[in-house]
Amino acid sequence: NIFRAAGDLSHLISILILLNTIQKSRSIAGISLKTQILYVLVFLTRYLDLTYRYVSIYNTLMKLFFISSSIYIVYLMIYKFKNTETEQIDTFPIEYLIGGSFILSLIFNYKFQFGEILWSFSLWLESVAILPQLFMLQRTGEARTLTTHYIFALGAYRTLYIPNWIFRWISEGRVDYLAIFTGIVQTIIYSDFFYIYYHRVLKGFKFELP
């Protein structure tokens, strides 16, 4: 359906914006390494199911793309364009996010099974993975426009999945409570950012937090 397609497209675009921004400016200023490391964890724990679960060629290719691009981005950030200045303001304690997501995944899962716990963990972790990046934005008070486009496209992906889930619930009777709940949590975390993005960036102002 259109929402899912638009969501996936926006997910894809967000990664391309980020890669393009890093490659062109040859800099990772303003980008949170911690958020990027969390995404590697999210993609690895959710998408390694491609080794034992086949959905479609599209699904497999997308999973491979998200795993490899997220690892590549972390590689660029650590080895190629290392930025100690940005690292110094990237101080969000992610061990709490990882630990909390792990505990939640043990409590909330469809079956107490390795694959299902990993799946649940990835959903919880994804819902909060942007926090170090938003925290960094808040500390610096402003961001490059491209960075804000990246965050927007990434947030749009899960937000667009919400109408997709409603659509699938109506048309197929399919409900994934975990994905829906964590997707809503994720969208709420983004809501403040979306609001500022709409008011500043789309109207041509510099992205500055009020």
Partner 1 sequence: GKKIPNHDEL
Residues that bind partner 1 (CB under 8 A): 4, 8, 11, 49, 53, 55-56, 59, 62-63, 66, 110-111, 116, 119, 161, 164, 174-176, 179
Of 139 and 174, nearer to partner 1 (C-beta) is 174
Q: Which of 89, 92, 93 has its CA nearest to residue 142?
A: 89
Angstrom distance (rounded) from CA 15 to CA 35: 13
The distance of closest approach from Cβ of residue 3 to partner 1 in the complex, given in angstroms and rounded to an integer, is 11
Lookup result for tokens 């997707």: 183
Choose between 148 and 164: whose C-beta lies nearer to partner 1. 164
CB of 81 to partner 1, least distance (A): 28
Sequence letter at residue 180 = I
Which stretches within 26-130 are classed as H helix? 33-47, 57-75, 84-88, 94-107, 114-128
> Closest CB to partner 1 among 111 and 139?
111
Question: For partner 1, which is the closer residue by CB, 62 or 201?
Answer: 62
> At its nearest, how many Å lie between partner 1 and the CB of residue 58?
9
Closest separation between CB of residue 29 and partner 1, Å?
A: 29
Least separation in angstroms between residue 15's CB and partner 1 is 12
Q: Which of 133, 185, 193, 183 is nearest to 158 (CA)?
A: 183
Q: Residue 142 in contact with residue 208, Cβ under 8 Å?
A: yes
14 sits in which H/E element: helix 2-25
Indicate the residue among 122 and 148 with the shorter CB distance to partner 1.
122
Residue 55 vs 138, nearer CB to partner 1: 55
* Burial class of residue 70 in the structure, from the number of CB atoms within 10 Å of its CB (0-12 exposed, 13-18 middle, 19+ buried): buried
What is the C-alpha to C-alpha distance for residues 12 and 45, in angstroms, rounded to an integer? 19
**Least Cβ distance, residue 39 to partner 1 (angstroms):** 13
